[in-house]
Amino acid sequence: MSRRLAMVAGCALALNAQATEGGATNKIPGVDTVLVGVMGPPGSLRNTNFFGYYQASSTLDGSGNPRQGLSNFDLTAWAFTVRLQYVWPEAKFLGADVESRLGLSAYGDVRVHFDVQTPRGAVQRSGSSSEVAPGAIVAPTLFGWHGETVHQVAGPEIFLSTHAYDPAALANASTGFNSIAPAYWITWLPDPRVELDGSFVYLFNQKNSKTHYTSGNELNVDYGAGYAVSPVWQAGVSGYLYKQTTDDELNGTGVPGGNRGRALAIGPYVRYHPSRDFGVTLKWQSESGVENRAKGNRFFLQVAIGGL
């Protein structure tokens, strides 16, 4: 379906030289991979629930190598997110239907552990954070166009960090900063059994008021390609391309090296959709080509009800 709304790795690790502030991002990569361009019919209400889990056993530098001075790195994060989408029954704009969306990361948990090498030996560091409603997303006006085989949605999203951010903590379930993001989603159905999806979201990140750190802007491209093996089962591959396009800044000055992150991911998915009003998608995505970020695996369980 769409959007970040699974705040899987939206945690801020207190590690110097991680892309963005601690490697945190408000738009979780890999969520927008199934029917992303298909807006529901006028008057419909869709509820999509996301459960996401992320596990990483390494964190890499700007050359894609393990970060020097760190060992035994382990990061796990999971979250449950709810999204509501309502299509206004009488609204039209340039031939498009009009939708409003509201999403809430109902619960987020992040845990990190690693050893820091010092002249006196390894020092263990660990931290965790569990929060209710650490983040939210608001999209007051999105526009959806429908064709015989191509469906498209476009409009701005606003990502909000709704929970207190602790600059002294090693891990935070909240990112500590807000983002404004123009977005475009497309679904192409070239054949009754074939589905191709693309999501293009560009995040303008705002300053973290508690740390005076501004994470660089980010491009997030999610994709999916599925084939209907039966009337109710679909199988395919999905993933994402993540690229930070501008340098991080601290107190208005660029940080050394820029700390720009990047990652690629791909993996299988399976979807069960017995009716137009119900669908369940299970996805696994493995990361590669990672720079200035943790490298790991993402797992998503998405349940959509209504408005399909």
- Please say if the pLDDT value at position 287 is more than 80: yes
- Please say if the pLDDT value at position 10 is more than 70: no
Q: How far apart are CA 82 and CA 5, in angstroms?
A: 7
Beta-carbon neighbour count of residue 139 at 10 Å?
A: 22
Contact 292, 19 (CB under 8 A): yes
- Please say if the pLDDT value at position 53 is more than 60: yes
The CATH number of the structural domain formed by 21-305 is: 2.40.160.40
Q: In terms of pLDDT, which residue wins out, 17 or 259?
A: 259
- Give the model's confidence band at 99: pLDDT under 50 very low, under 70 low, under 90 confident, else very high: very high
pLDDT at 18: 53
Conformation bin of residue 157: beta by default, left when phi > 0, alpha when psi is -120 to 50: beta
The average pLDDT across 289-299 equals 96
Residue 109 host element (H or E): strand 96-118
What integer best gives the mean pLDDT of the chain?
A: 91
pTM of the predicted protein model: 0.90
pLDDT at 276: 87
pLDDT at 19: 65
- Please say if the pLDDT value at position 17 is more than 50: no
Residue 278, CA distances (Å) to 37, 269, 300, 303 in order? 17, 17, 17, 8
Lowest mean pLDDT among 86-90, 157-161, 170-174, 190-194: 170-174
pLDDT at 164: 79
